[in-house]
Structure 1
Amino acid sequence: MSTHARTVSVVGGGVIGLAIAWRAARDGWSVRLYDPSIGSGASWVAGGMLAPLSEGWPGEETALTVGASSLERWPAFGEELGKFGQSVFTADSSLTVALDAADAQDLQTIAEWVSSQGHELEVLGRARIRELEPMLGRGIRSGLMAVGESAVDNRLLLEALQKACAETGVELIARAVNDLAELDTDQVVLTAGIASPKLWPGLPVRPVKGEILRLRSRPGVTPAPSRTIRGSVHGRPAYLVPRGDGIVVGATQYESGEDTQVTMAGVRDLINDAEALMPAIGEYELYECAAGLRPMTPDNLPLIGRVSDRVVVSTGHGRNGVLLTPVTADATLALLNGTSLVEVKGTEPERFAVAKENS
């Protein structure tokens, strides 16, 4: 790569693309960002959980390393973004709860393994959970507390990132790119989510549909939890993420191509699972049902790396796009500047034998 290359096109305007564009412009690059609908897609629908520790599992060392590295960056990243608007944070910890004996054993397994990797989690009993979050269901047996696993409002995040881009000189271009060859900048970063394989054939990224509900508080309702609440209900992962005006409930997961319609079955399951975690949640106003398409890879790890002398890919973040935004931005900037970030080792596209080209 030429050491004087200082112009870059970022293709994709979700949280990942916007963060990369902002950081690149701040780093002295001349940046253009292309997306026909900037700040939409999966980033607009996201729950905003930052939970790499409580989602850890034995054998998933790379996912834990990448996620924990990004979580460590979030306080400074969020504080800097606060200069472009209000704070994006909505919680500073997470509580994963178990409704049956099998789930309780899983929480113990997670706690022991994550602790062995150098991170701290605390197993809580029923009484302590009731003390911390009295609105949760009485059937909850145990919990796993992760202090520092914060949550963010994804829509405030998108707003702040767009302002940051505008104020650092990023040229935001609201149109689609059909061929990377049409771009005349020295470097290109492909961060187009599920559209990435259309622009670089062979990238193993597929759409996975996820539905969420947004609930709005009303006068006199039971207060929302003070932290993110996660659990498994009838084998389905469920979460409640606090927002300034209510709660986000998520999330279903379907392999359904590019379908983004919200289904009755999805809404039913989300409501039932939310009530199992917090019985009084039915008091809230249901004001939005939405579905997004997560860009998933076969091993659920993102693709961050070079596929040619000119093209870097930063895509395939699945359901962890918001969590992985800071570390992905840092890793991508390192690649643009001719180095690499050790914390994302294992996310290189060549692990899937993705074809490289010299261009």
Structure 2
Amino acid sequence: MTPVSRVSPVHDRIAIVGGGIIGLAVGWRLAQAGRSVDLFEKERVGQGATRAAGGMLAASAEAEPGEHALTALNRQSQALWPDFARELVATSGIDIGMRQDGILNVALTGDDLRRLRAEFGHQQRHGLPTRWLSAAELREREPCLNPGASGAIHSPGDHQVENRLAAEALRVAFTQAGGRIHEGAAVERVLVENGAVRGLHVAGTEHEAGTVLLAAGAWSGGIEGLPEAARPPVRPVKGQMLSVRMATEEPLLRHVVWAPGVYLIPRLDGRLLVGATVEERGFDTRITAGGLLSLLHSAWRALPGIEELPVEETWVGFRPGSRDDAPILGPGPVRGLVYATGHHRNGILLTPITADLVSRFILTGVVEPALRSFGVGRFVRRAA
């Protein structure tokens, strides 16, 4: 008996533009639900902003005045990460290096101390789970820090994951669930007809789909075919980073440390990540002497012993920044076009909540309350 080949109807097919951690995670959830999902990435999956990130899950340390909705979303996603990580590791067989050591935000001068006290007050007023460490308590936790460090905010619930391994694990999980990845497949145009998407134009070929998820990070706003009202206002925010090599048996640092002008992220394999500049330079891929000098000087002020460590890698990434630095999620003015972009510095942190909220919207059509503050329409209203 000849097997019957079943092809999903066009309206059931989902096409994802962008193969970073967000596109992979949403695609995984959709494929798990039995949907037909094709993901298109112009280069290789996980090699853009996802690869360049630090992997911090810093919902408390990242909290800024006036960003109450974003802080709430960050904390919801942070709470999902442990179970998300366990499921991902069990599915893929890849250890994604999740560490639950907390983050230390360190003061080196009197001015730093006053700023940090004010920040701690904001965190406490909003019920964030942080505590103040004296200089002595800080030295007990991290004895190699600058001996002049005068105090710190400890965020014990803020963690880190090895973002590059997480992306590889998601690639495996997505394909195991039946998702299809097309690498080296630059999307030339979103096909829109009568106010609805009907697919993508990729490498000279039309790919029909009833739903298109725009998850192309900093490149999301430049894809052709979108009506102006549907074009997300996302720009690249350049960041330069580097890593040095510590001794794994006696690492200089065990916690993630934020200090003035720099953050330091120790990995279990002995790497110490040093980041990151924040530059409005478009898609400028150059590593600059000034960028590295600034990072290394700030790192040396916080952790003097770093000057003895060999530099292992330098790189540039492009954070997808929206006008208000919050993500753009959910539906928009074009039927069938869905957004998961504009995550700026919180892409890794917001991966689980984005995957859940956006996949559920695609599957059910329901805009959950957590999505409502982050729709693309908030920019259209402001421009009106």
TM-score (norm 2): 0.86
Q: Give how far 1:331 is off.
A: 1.5
SS in 2 for 1:52: coil
Q: Looking at CA atoms only, which structure, 1 or 2, has the larger radius of gyration?
A: 2
- Please list, as runs of the form range in 1=range in 2, the aligned pairs for 1:192-231 lying within 5 A after superposition: 192-199=216-223, 200=226, 201=228, 202-218=231-247, 223-231=251-259
Matches within 5 A, 1:148-159: 148-159=157-168
Shift of 1:77: 0.8
Alignment of 1:74-223 (within 5 A): 74-83=81-90, 84=92, 85-174=94-183, 175-181=185-191, 182=200, 183-199=207-223, 200=226, 201=228, 202-218=231-247, 223=251
- Look up the match of 2:304: 279
> What is the TM-score with the length of structure 1 in the denominator?
0.92
Deviations 1:152-176 (A, max 9, x none): 1111111111111111111001101
Question: How far has the Cα of 1:291 moved from its partner?
Answer: 0.4
Give 1:180 deviation, angstroms.
Answer: 1.6
Counterpart AA for 2:133: L
Give distance in 2, aligned partners of 1:354 and 1:218: 53
Q: Which moved more, 1:84-93 or 1:255-264?
A: 84-93
Tell me, what secondary structure is at the counterpart of 2:22?
helix
Pick aligned residue for 1:41 from 35, 48, 53: 48
Equivalent residue of 1:89, what SS? coil
CA contact (8 A) 1:22 1:161 kept: yes
Equivalent position of 2:70 in the other structure: 63
3-state SS of the aligned residue for 1:87?
A: coil
Shift of 1:5: 5.0
Counterpart of 1:127 in 2: which secondary structure?
helix
| 1-structure distance, mates of 2:208, 2:248 | 55
- Unmatched segments (≥5 aa) in structure 2: 1-9, 192-199, 201-206
What CA distance in whole angstroms lies between the structure 2 residues aligned with 1:92 and 1:16?
24
| Aligned with residue 294 of structure 1, among 319, 337, 341 | 319
In structure 2, C-alpha distance between the alignment counterparts of 1:335 and 1:108, rounded to whole Å: 41
CA distance in 2, matches of 1:185, 1:140: 56
Structure 1 residues 234-279: Cα deviation after superposition (integer angstroms, max 9, x where no partner): xx3x101111222111001111111011111111111111111111
- Once the two structures are superposed, the pairs formed by residues 250-261 of structure 1 within 5 Å of their partners are 250-261=275-286
Q: Which amino acid aligns with 1:217?
A: M
CA contact (8 A) 2:30 2:37 kept: yes
**Does the 8 Å CA contact 1:31/1:170 hold for their aligned counterparts?**
yes
Aligned length: 347
Which of 23, 27, 30 in structure 2 is aligned with 1:21? 27
Q: Percent identity?
A: 35
Shift of 1:91: 4.2
Cα distance in 2 for residues equivalent to 1:101 and 1:55: 22
**Are the counterparts in 2 of residues 218 and 285 from structure 1 also a CA contact under 8 Å?**
no
Q: Check 1:81–1:59 CA distance in 2 against 1; reply closer, same or farther (3 A cut).
A: same
Gaps of 5+ in 1: none
Structure 1 stretches of 4+ moved >3 Å: none
- 1:219, CA displacement in angstroms? 7.3
Q: CA deviation at 1:322?
A: 0.7
CA contact (8 A) 1:209 1:259 kept: yes
Q: Deviation at 1:86?
A: 1.2
- RMSD value over aligned CA atoms? 1.8
